[in-house]
Amino acid sequence: MSRLVLKFGGTSVANIERIRNVARHIDREWKAGHDVAVVVSAMAGKTNELVGWCDEASRLCDRREYDAVVASGEQVTAGLLAIVLQEMHIPARSWQGWQVPIFTSHEHGFGRIQHIESAAIIKGFAERREVAVITGFQGLHEETARIVTLGRGGSDTSAVAVAAGIGADRCDIYTDVDGVYTTDPRIVPKARRLDRIAFEEMLEMASLGAKVLQVRSVELAMVHKVKTFVRSSFDDPDNSNQGTLICDEEDIVESQVVTGIAFSRDEAQITLRRVADRPGIAAAIFMPLADANINVDMIVQVASEDSGVTDLTFTVSAADFARAQKILTDAKQQIGFRTLQGASDVVKISVIGVGMRSHAGVAARAFKALAEKGINIRAITTSEIKFSVLIEAAYTELAVRTLHTLYGLDNA
């Protein structure tokens, strides 16, 4: 018999009927004799509502109280699911993060799981065959005894961490699609479900915008070698076996050059015109941004014809856009530039695949295909297994679909 972690996302537990359906998936695994720990998200829309209330109460609310509020959504789902399981005569109890405990770092709103005390949960398996229903997205900072949340989408990370903590044989991430697709199936109907995807590729997909898994959950799965399977809670509980296994590169037999395409609208572009082209200029621009904890992503520098000046374009996340513009405008004299132009109607499209390591010209084909559609590329970055282009947001779907077809990813 195995030990399993089953994670259910917000849409999967959106109402009592869906919670009953989730319970049928649990019932199947439990009846097969497995030890089962379940990790749940808040009901769909709940976390957004809670975040909205905090914003309404105060634009700059105390992050410790923000966490106290937003962590409450998962508590409701865990309790409701335990009630439904008990109704079905399956021994079950709910566990909040602090009860397990799941210990985290102190960063409120984006904590990291440091350690999980798994003894009580394992004792429940051994003595009562009890299903542990654990709240995702939250943990406890031991020194301050405060609740800390893990960042949006953090229940995925809770699930993988619990799987590592209790030594689970597999972590099943149940969501509203039946696996990881070549791109977001809601944008490209021809997207194909992947049977397998390598950890490195999934890591890039997640960090470049595919929100099906939180980035941190993929990192944890990779480090702790947690066998992670993405599947649908909407499949018939009595006949459910389809999904995507996140695995080592060596375990993929038929590998393609390009595995998937991700996109992120959470981008903003800043261009500084006529910047003095002298040593130290990049540091003068990027140090103040780094000091303010603003991450800069793509950077393009263009030398103007007129010697001695240059144009510099870079991207920051949409959330940092206003702050970055203010910092640079305040430092205009020290940096020495003519004008600052900003744009937030941009999207970053990324093409990912471990096959790029051994194939030349993969990106060049994309540039040509986008040009043929009249799509202008504003910035480019490349690395070993991916490249990204920044384009106008209005072209998102056209660009993703064009590249999806170009690399032979369309479903026949």
Q: Which residues bind ligand ADP (CB under 6 A)?
A: 9-12, 41, 153, 175-177, 180-181, 183-186, 205, 210-212, 260
Q: Which H or E element spans position 134?
A: strand 131-135
DSSP lists the bridge partners of residue 309 as: 276
Q: Which is nearer to Mg ion, 124 or 260 (CB)?
A: 260
Q: Which stretch binds ligand ASP (CB under 6 A): 12-20, 41-49, 183-191, 382-390?
A: 41-49
Smallest CA-to-CA distance from 251 within 232, 225, 230 is with 225
The least CB distance from residue 406 to ligand ASP, in Å, is 33
Q: Which does 11 bind (CB under 5 to 8 A by kind): Mg ion, ligand ADP, ligand ASP, none?
A: ligand ADP
Give residue 328's Cα distance to chain centre: 29
Alpha helices in 32-170 (DSSP H): 46-57, 63-70, 72-87, 119-128, 155-166
Give buried/exposed letters for 353-389 (b at 16+ CB in 10 A, else e).
bbbbeeeeebbeebeebbeeeebebbbebeeebbbbb
Instruction: Kindly state whether residue 153 participates in binding Mg ion, applying the rule CB under 5 A.
Output: yes
103 binds, among ligand ASP, ligand ADP, Mg ion, none (CB under 5 to 8 A by kind): none
Other beta carbons within 10 angstroms of residue 302's beta carbon come to: 10
Could you give the count of Cα atoms lying within 13 Å of 52 in the half-sphere of its Cβ?
5
Q: Which residues pair with 92 in a beta bridge?
A: 131
Question: How would you class 249 by CB atoms within 10 Å of its CB: exposed for 0-12, middle for 13-18, buried for 19 or more?
Answer: middle
For residue 97, the partner it binds in ligand ASP, Mg ion, ligand ADP, none, with Cβ less than 5 to 8 A by kind, is none
Q: How far is the CB of 181 from ligand ASP (least distance, A)?
A: 19
CB of 130 to Mg ion, least distance (A): 26
- Between 231 and 260, how does the x/- string for binding to ligand ASP read (CB under 6 A)? ------------------------------
Q: Which does 177 bind (CB under 5 to 8 A by kind): Mg ion, ligand ADP, ligand ASP, none?
A: ligand ADP
Residue 210: name its binding partner from ligand ADP, ligand ASP, Mg ion, none (Cβ under 5 to 8 Å by kind). Answer: ligand ADP
Strand order through the sheet with 309-317: 296-303, 309-317, 260-276, 339-352, 386-392, 379-383
Q: Which of residues 263-302 bind ligand ASP (CB under 6 A)?
A: none
Q: Interaction with ligand ASP in 138-177: which residues (CB under 6 A)?
A: 152-156
Residue 77 C-beta: closest distance to ligand ASP, Å: 9
Supply the minimum distance, in Å, between the C-beta of residue 81 and ligand ADP. 15
Q: Shortest gap between Cβ of 379 and Mg ion (angstroms)?
A: 28
Which residues lie closer than 8 Å to 206 by C-beta, 6 or more apart?
A: 212, 213, 214, 215, 217, 218, 262
Q: Which is nearer to Mg ion, 81 or 159 (CB)?
A: 159
Task: Give bridge partners of residue 315 from the DSSP assignment.
Answer: 269
Instruction: Identify the residue among 4, 38, 39, 73 touching ligand ASP (CB under 6 A).
Output: 73
CB of 365 to ligand ADP, least distance (A): 21
Torsion of CA 191, 195, 201, 202, to 10 degrees: 80
- Residue choice 21, 41, 94, 244 for contact with ligand ASP (CB under 6 A): 41
Using the rule CB under 6 A, which residue among 136, 179, 185, 260 binds ligand ASP? 136
**How far is it, in rounded angstroms, from Cα 86 to Cα 350?**
46
Among residues 47, 118, 271, 396, the one that binds ligand ASP under rule CB under 6 A: 47
Go through 77-112 and write b for each residue having 16 or more CB atoms within 10 A of its CB, e for each that does not. bbbbbbebbeeeebebbbbbbbebbbbbeeebbebb
Q: Which residues bind Mg ion (CB under 5 A)?
A: 9, 153
Q: Which residues bind ligand ASP (CB under 6 A)?
A: 9-10, 41-42, 47, 73, 136-137, 152-156
